[in-house]
Chains A and B, each alone.
Chain A
Amino acid sequence: MSVDEQTKRRDPADEKPSRHSTIMRGVVTPALGIIAIAFIVLGVLNATIWQPTRRIIATATTNSQYVVTDPGVLQVVDSKVRIRVAATNNDARVCLALGSPQDVTGWLGDAGYTRLTGLSSWTELSHRRSASNGKTMDNAVGFSDSDLWSQVVCGEGKAALTTSQGTSGKVLLIDADAGSSQGTDSSSDDATTDLKESQATISMDWTRENLPNYAMPFYFVGGLLIVAAILAASVFAIDPMRRRKKLDESKLKKIEETEMSVMEAFAGAMRPLAGEIRSSFKRNPDSRRRHAHGGASRRSRRSNRTVSAAQQSEEPQVPSTPRVIDVGSKNLVAVQQGSADAMHTSAEGHTHANHVTKVSSTLSNTHSASDSAEETAVISPEELQSYFARFTAETTGSIKKLDDDNGSSKQTVDPAKDDQEAADASDVSDISDTTVEAPQHPYEDIEDPAKEQSTTENGGE
């Protein structure tokens, strides 16, 4: 695994959000959220102002003396019902009785009657005339005095009856003119007048105890949409390729560092914001100048938090508090390489710096500018020690060689020029803070720009 890949995985916040992630988080999630809210609002409306009517009143107008409900009509909406009957003739004696269907049939005998068969709508009772053979009834007792009824109510012109519990299986018999001669069939030809007088308006009044719950489906769908929105903003927003790759890696368990804790993810998400705030406080002329580099400004801004080799080479020039370098977390090789580069640049002049600039721009184009020296420190202590030993030996050897040649060292004899060179190196680092990452082998000097470019491009891949 290359250093670039490692760095990428270590700091996902530095990556530009993919198009997939942008669509999922910017379009799908808000859309799902809005629909979810709409469904919940509809659910609340269905549970409140759009709630079904609790009270149902259905009416019918009949033209016969006797009206009978079919079994089950009284309980069609709710077990408890209040029946009101108002006769057209206010002097008529109206009676209502509850009885078993066979008792009512036995009472009516062959007399004609109207059947209430159910609800034709929420406000109307359906009814039908039964066939009659025109025979008269010969009941010995009056309607209200019969033992057949479990409940009976009579009144002048109108009457009302409320069914009690346990009336299932009972039917209602209405006598719209109980005071008249019993058994008069109002449907017979000679009883047309009676038929008109027996006209009655019947209303049944139910109060529903259990209303249909139309709100729950909306709540349910709204909840599902919320869950979908959360998933769209989290799991489904991850690039599918990366998600699969992550899964593979987790299976193989080759790199434990790729696992990112919640805190790390949060820190990564907050890092750009923190960097923005920090940069607003620590902005100096150099950084402003850095921002002037057009297309590289975003990358430069993002990489402010990284410590470039050039900046580190600058820092010793400014007296400050002692710095403690954690060799475990710092890529000292890169730091030293930066110092070496600076020295080398001072030795070779601006020409080399131009090379570096060119390389850095190449690196920027390959999106590796965000890589930091801090995060490429994956070198074992043994390697570090051997490097130090070799570096010391080489440095000592070069100084010795210079002394031997009696030449004046550019790095040591001309402090003014040294400053100038350091400033140049700083400029180099300004152009690209991440050029130090490009040489993956710190032992190699950057001499061939073409070679450098190919190396960084490989790393970028």
Chain B
Amino acid sequence: MRKHIGKMAACILAIGLCTSMAACEGQVPQVSAPTSSASASPDLTQAQEKRIRLRILDALEKANKAKDPKGIDEYVGGPQLQIRTSELNIAKASGDLDNKTTIPRQITQTVIPTDSGWPRSIFTITTTTADQQSKRLLVMTQDVAGTNYKLWGVARLFQGAQLPKFAVPTIGSEMGDSSDTGLVFTPESAVSHYADILQNGTSSKYSSDFTSDYFQQDLSKLEQTVQQGMEANNGTQKQTFTAVPGAIKIMRSSDGGDLVVAQIDSVWTRTAGEGRESLPASDDEKALFGNTKATSTIKVTYVNVVAMYVPPAGSGAKVSAVGAERQAIKVEAL
């Protein structure tokens, strides 16, 4: 009997050992806490940026073909909405879309933000156009999580312009603020000073802090030409440039500077003398002016988008504009 019990115990022990030594699935894995690096990851992947950009460009392409700005507000916002609407209206009136409205679908670089909040902005630089126009700097902005990215601004880069360096898209860059310090000027101040330079030219007290650029030069030439004509008619002309508050997008570069894209509105008022009428000065103005009865005074409102690089303080570098866009959006006879 005792022997029998011993055998039974041995069998139970053997079965127990086999069961305990049989493989199991292991311990149920626990979710590890997210690392701090996860919060600093870029908001978007390059694929997402491409999808967003092409969605916008497709919508613009559709509007360009229709020469109708209707519906583009779903894809375009900020100063670019005003510019593109004007361009499409002009194209609708004149029958031709200006070549400068072309935006290449290929890009050379994209800068993706890492900020977790909203609004967020993506800075993308395209290739040159098929007709060798300069590269475009696209700024796409998402105001809140419940909306999609819109094309906020486009600046045609100046030939030979040197853009600062940014982190690769897989790392992402931090967005700047309009009151960033540690720079030659705060971004907001830099835009205001640039507007002053555009208005006053070399006589501006800030001209020594900014490098000369094509945009300033072209505006200065145009103004001089118009001034000569107005003087011949005993007329006057005045153009005022004003930085639009809040219409500014900033991306911090790797060297500590800021790439700033801002909106500067300008109003050009021309008054003819000796009882003459002031007429539009360009095809765009004509198209916008349409059949409006001309008077002695004409007021043209322009939207300017300026991209400038604000270097860090102590670098010894000047603020330099790297690209700009200018479009008349309204022509009025006063």
Contact = CB atoms under 8 A, between A and B. Distances in A.
A107 B146 contact: yes
A334 to B, nearest CB: 57
Contact of A146 (B25, B29, B39, B148): B148
Interface in A145-173: 145-148, 150, 166, 168-169
Nearest to A126: B31
Given A73-B31, A117-B31, A118-B30, A52 B146 contact: no
A242 B217 CA distance: 108
A140 B26 contact: no
B91 to A, nearest CB: 28
Contact of B28 (A51, A122, A139): A122
B192 to A, nearest CB: 32
Given A42-B21, A52-B25, A141-B148, A71 B142 contact: no
A166 to B, nearest CB: 8
Interface residues of A, number: 44
A119 B32 CA distance: 12
A169 B22 CA distance: 35
A119 B29 contact: yes
A122 B25 contact: yes
Contacts of A145: 148
Nearest to B29: A76
Interface stretch (A98-106, A255-263, A265-273, A298-306): A98-106
A333 interface: no
A17 interface: no
Contacts of A168: 38
A122 B39 CA distance: 29
Given A52-B26, A147-B52, A212-B26, A137 B33 contact: no
Contact of A141 (B33, B47, B117, B147): B147
A52 B31 contact: no
B29 A77 contact: yes
Interface string B27-59: 011111110001101011101100110000000
A53 B144 CA distance: 44
A146 B148 CA distance: 6
B48 A150 contact: yes
B52 A72 contact: no
Nearest to B35: A169
A214 interface: yes
Count class of interface residues, chain B: 20 to 34
Contacts of A137: 146
Contacts of B51: 147
B145 interface: yes
B116 interface: yes
Nearest to B37: A169
B49 to A, nearest CB: 9
B48 A106 contact: no
Given A102-B116, A169-B34, A46 B22 contact: yes
Given A46-B22, A147-B52, A138 B29 contact: no
A147 B23 contact: no
A103 B52 CA distance: 16
B5 interface: no
B152 interface: no
Interface in B3-29: 18, 21-26, 28-29
A106 B29 CA distance: 29
Given A106-B145, A137-B146, A212-B26, A100 B41 contact: yes
Given A103-B43, A147-B52, A169-B34, A50 B23 contact: yes
B41 A51 contact: no
A168 B35 CA distance: 11
A103 B115 CA distance: 11
Contacts of A122: 25, 28
A284 B83 CA distance: 128
Contact of B34 (A53, A56, A72, A121): A72
A150 B42 CA distance: 12
A45 B146 contact: no
Interface in A99-142: 100-103, 106-107, 109, 117-122, 137-141
A419 B174 CA distance: 122
Contacts of B149: 147
Contacts of A146: 146, 148
Contacts of B144: 106
A147 B41 contact: no
A289 B25 CA distance: 72
Scoring B18, B31, B52 by chain A CB atoms within 10 A of each residue's CB, the highest score goes to B31
Nearest to B32: A72
A107 B145 contact: yes
Given A102-B116, A122-B25, A141 B146 contact: yes
B145 A71 contact: no
B35 to A, nearest CB: 8
B47 A53 contact: no
B28 A100 contact: no
A53 B26 CA distance: 10
Scoring B51, B118, B145 by chain A CB atoms within 10 A of each residue's CB, the highest score goes to B145
B41 A139 contact: no
Interface string A376-419: 00000000000000000000000000000000000000000000
Nearest to A147: B148
A418 B41 CA distance: 115
A76 B38 contact: no
A73 to B, nearest CB: 5
Contacts of A102: 39, 116-117
24 contacts: A42-B18, A50-B23, A70-B31, A71-B38, A101-B34, A102-B117, A103-B145, A106-B144, A109-B145, A109-B146, A119-B29, A120-B28, A122-B25, A141-B146, A145-B148, A147-B48, A147-B51, A147-B148, A150-B44, A150-B45, A150-B47, A168-B38, A169-B41, A218-B21
Q: Which 8 A-B pairs have the closest CB atoms?
A: A106-B145, A139-B146, A50-B23, A102-B116, A71-B34, A118-B31, A169-B38, A72-B31
Interface of B: 18, 21-26, 28-34, 38-39, 41, 43-45, 47-48, 51-52, 116-118, 142, 144-149
Given A72-B32, A147-B51, A150-B44, 17 more contacts: A46-B21, A52-B25, A53-B25, A71-B38, A72-B31, A102-B117, A107-B145, A109-B146, A119-B28, A121-B28, A139-B146, A141-B148, A147-B44, A147-B48, A214-B24, A215-B23, A218-B21
Interface of A: 42, 45-46, 50-53, 56, 70-73, 76-77, 100-103, 106-107, 109, 117-122, 137-141, 145-148, 150, 166, 168-169, 212, 214-215, 218
